[in-house]
Amino acid sequence: MAPGASHGRVSAAPCLKAAVIGAGMLGLDLAERLNASPVLSCALVAGRQSSASALRRAAQLGCEVSTEGVTAVVRAGVDVVFDASSAEAHPAHWAALASADVLLVDLTPSSGGSMLTPTVNAVRAESDRHLSLVSCGGQAVLPVLDAVVQNSARVEDVEVVTTVASASVGPATRNNLDEYLATTGYALQQLTGGTRPKVMATISPALPAPAFRAQITACAYGIQTRALGDAVEAVARAVRQYAPGYEVSALSVTGDLVRATVTVTARGGRLPSYAGNVEIINAAAVTLAERYARSREVGHGG
């Protein structure tokens, strides 16, 4: 199937062409999601020579492929670029694309770009051109923490501990653990206003592989307990609109201490069920890019 073909879409509106940098688990899952989107299509997956076998799988999804990385993306003339490479490589990718009329969606834990989560500040996807998805942990916990912030007078001392199955963590993610911790902590601080966020991560080799999980602890003063419960239920439903396996599996308030546990199970597609870390960040990235695509269609139509 040629890139940009309909893939069974019912919408007559033209799709925006997208490119993915990186051919790991994230990149291949992104390509599949893009080709299932009503407003986006995967025109190119660009990796390195060492990712040739993964690129062959991308080609089977109907995408053009290249081993030339961002150089091929610049030539491709696409509308949206998803960077699923590494935090170290991302600044060079942004430098290469900054002058182009593209939306760059960063799935690496680089600190560049506007930090977005669909349920918190998705509207910025309509105007900003360099979006950061923070991290998989950030996408899991920021919706819940936003509910805490909205239903309390002040939030301090936020701690987040994530557990992810070893089989769902590629080499780039392992090399980017320091950036993951720092960028996620910065996003927590920006959202809550707290000065001492703590982020910890465990890569679990356990078998069977555990589902992706994030545990949140926060001091929240002046908290409205009943309103918080309703808000967390509402935000979990909102996240499930794009990531169906998202659950707030525990929530408790003891005095000023809030504890919550989020689990994310991958559902559908080619991802194993334990790869909720990939599911949550990729689903959020495509959701934000689709919002951009629809806003551009409206703008052009006006």
Cα separation, 33 vs 279, whole angstroms: 10
Distance (Å, whole) CA 22 – CA 211: 24
Structure tokens at 56: 């062959």
Query: How many whole angstroms separate alpha carbon 212 and alpha carbon 263?
Result: 6
Residue 141 neighbours by CB under 8 Å, 6+ apart:
160, 188, 214, 216, 262
The first and second tokens of residue 111, run together, are 């600190």
Please identify which residue in the block is written with the tokens 């660009």: 46
> What burial letters (b/e) apply to 215-225, b meaning 16+ CB within 10 Å?
bbebbbeebee
42 is catalytic: no
Three-state secondary structure string covering 47-97: CCHHHHHHHHHHHHCCCEEECCCHHHHHHHCCCEEEECCCCCCHHHHHHHH
For residue 80, the one-letter residue type is: V
Residue 121 half-sphere exposure toward CB, CA atoms < 13 A:
16
Name the active-site residue from 15, 42, 63, 136. 136
- The pair of structure tokens assigned to 72 is 């091929």
- Positions annotated as catalytic residues are 136
